[in-house]
C-alpha cells in the first residue's frame, strides 16, 4: 500500500493530537501534580491585605521589629524588650509552600520576651513565617522567609 503526502499529514496530525491528549490526561490524573491554590480561601485573604500593610507599617514606625533566629532547640522569635511580654497576644503562622499538611499556627503566650518553636515541629526546607501580634490594642505584623 502506498501512502501519499495527504495521508501522511493526516496521520501526523492524529499522532500529534493523541500525544497531547495522553499527556493532558496523565497530568490531570497524577497525584504528584498539585493543583491547589496557594492558600485556602485565597480571595477572602486578599480582602484583608490593607490591614496587613497597616500592621507591618506600624511595626516599622514604632521600631517594634522582631528577630527570628535558628538555634539547636528550634526557632526562637525575639520580641522587643521594651514591651511587657504578658500583654503581647497573637499568632505565629508557619507556612510550607511545598506541603500544605505541614502548615501550623501557634498562639503567642509569653512570660519572657522570646517564643521558642521546638525543633521537632519543623522539617528542613523553606518556611514562610508570619507573626501577627497585638500590644495594648495596637496591631503589628512581621513576615519572613526562612530556610530551616
89-93: list long-range contacts, CB under 8 Å, 24+ apart: 89/133, 89/134, 90/131, 90/132, 90/133, 90/134, 90/140, 91/131, 91/132, 91/133, 92/117, 92/129, 92/130, 92/131, 93/129, 93/130, 93/131, 93/132
Let me know: does 131 contact 92? Beta carbons within 8 Å.
yes
Q: What is the pLDDT of residue 35?
A: 55
Mean pLDDT of 129-133: 91
All 3 cell numbers of residue 111? 512570660
Whether the predicted pLDDT of 9 surpasses 60: yes
CATH of domain 42-147: 2.60.40.10
132 confidence band (pLDDT: 50, 70, 90): very high
Q: Is the dihedral of CA 55, 116, 104, 129 positive or negative?
A: positive
Residue with cell 503526502: 5
The residue extents of the domains of the chain are: 1-35, 42-147
Q: Is the dihedral of CA 88, 43, 124, 105 positive or negative?
A: positive
Let me know: does 104 contact 127? Beta carbons within 8 Å.
no
Q: pLDDT tens across 29-85, in order?
A: 876 665 555 667 777 878 888 888 888 888 888 888 888 998 888 889 999 888 888
Give the side-chain half-sphere CA count within 13 A for 116: 9
Whether the predicted pLDDT of 117 surpasses 60: yes
Amino acid at each position: 500500500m502506498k501512502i501519499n503526502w495527504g495521508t501522511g499529514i493526516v496521520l501526523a496530525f492524529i499522532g500529534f493530537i493523541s500525544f497531547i491528549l495522553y499527556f493532558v490526561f496523565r497530568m490531570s490524573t497524577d497525584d504528584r501534580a498539585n493543583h491547589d491554590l496557594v492558600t485556602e480561601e485565597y480571595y477572602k485573604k486578599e480582602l484583608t491585605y490593607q490591614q496587613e500593610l497597616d500592621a507591618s507599617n506600624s511595626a516599622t514606625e514604632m521600631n517594634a521589629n522582631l528577630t527570628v533566629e535558628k538555634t539547636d532547640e528550634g526557632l526562637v522569635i525575639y520580641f522587643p524588650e521594651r514591651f511587657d511580654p504578658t500583654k503581647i497576644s497573637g499568632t505565629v503562622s508557619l507556612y510550607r509552600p511545598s506541603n500544605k499538611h505541614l502548615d501550623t499556627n501557634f498562639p503567642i503566650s509569653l512570660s519572657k520576651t522570646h517564643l521558642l518553636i521546638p525543633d521537632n515541629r519543623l522539617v528542613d526546607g523553606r518556611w514562610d513565617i508570619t507573626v501577627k501580634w497585638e500590644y495594648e490594642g495596637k496591631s503589628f505584623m512581621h513576615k519572613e522567609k526562612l530556610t530551616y
